[in-house]
Amino acid sequence: MSTPFQELAPLCQLPSGATGRVCRLTGDESFCQRIREMGFGEAALVTKISGSVTSLCLVNGTRLALNHSAAMSILVERLPAGAK
């Protein structure tokens, strides 16, 4: 569970190997719908595998690459190591 003081950060700022929970999507409605269809819906767990310009992520057992702009629009809360 998140605490009221948990800071949200864009997915692109999540360190490689860290896991976060998607809390909010920003951007226009069509972008948000498409990103949800890819598995990045609110409350989804995402692990950033690598990248800064292009973020390689693991979500719902699938590896997906996002450009920097898309990763900036996905706000996550970082989870402690081992928490899921």
Q: Which CATH number fits domain 9-78: 3.40.50.720, 2.30.30.90, 3.40.50.300, 2.30.30.40?
A: 2.30.30.90
Asked if 46 contacts 62 with a C-beta cutoff of 8 angstroms, the reply is no
CA distance 35 to 44: 11
Residue 14 is given by DSSP the state: S
Query: CB of 44 within 8 A of CB of 20?
Result: no
* pTM of this prediction exceeds 0.75: yes
Instruction: Answer yes or no: are the C-beta atoms of 42 and 75 closer than 8 Å.
Output: no
Per domain, the residue ranges of the chain are 9-78
What pLDDT band is residue 82 in, cutting at 50, 70 and 90? confident
pLDDT band at 4 (very low <50, low <70, confident <90, very high): low
Q: What is the pLDDT of residues 18-77, one digit of tens each?
A: 999 999 999 999 999 999 999 999 999 999 999 989 999 999 999 999 999 999 999 999
Cβ proximity of 8 and 46 under 8 Å:
no
